[in-house]
Amino acid sequence: MSRIALTCTACAAEVTVSSRHLMVRVDVGHSESGELLYTCLFCAATVVQQVDAASVAALVSAGVSYLALSEPIVGHPECPPCGPVFTHDDVLDLHTRLARTGWFDEMLTRLT
């Protein structure tokens, strides 16, 4: 476990924090920099400091937890996924199958 010396941006105190109490957050789309997150031991503020890619690599190799963020992919309702349309008859068929006893075993045998 590594210990890393940092300067708190909230109170300007010099703190030494163990690597397990730090987190590096990187946006996957813009991975040339990241953010270092920790709680200051003097003022108890949650500190977020910008770090460059080389610092991110050094911190991660020192054992700091790594969190990669990416934008969620949200499908547009006008662009449905490929495949057959799920109809009302499909819903009725599913309801009928689930009403029978042994439906789970039947589904397991179809998968194998």
Rounded-to-10 torsion of CA 25, 31, 32, 38: 0
User: What is the longest distance spanned by two Cα atoms in the chain?
Assistant: 68
In a domain, 96, yes or no: no
Domain that holds residue 48: 3-69
> What type of residue sits at position 88?
H
In a domain, 36, yes or no: yes
Domain-embedded: residue 91: no
Quote the number of domains for the chain. 1
Share of the chain above pLDDT 70, in %: 90
Is residue 111 domain-resident?
no
Phi, psi of 110, deg, nearest 5: -70, -30
- Cα separation of 27 and 110, whole Å? 42
pLDDT one-digit tens code per residue, 26-79: 887 766 788 999 999 899 999 999 999 889 888 988 889 988 887 666 677 777
**Domain presence at residue 79:** no
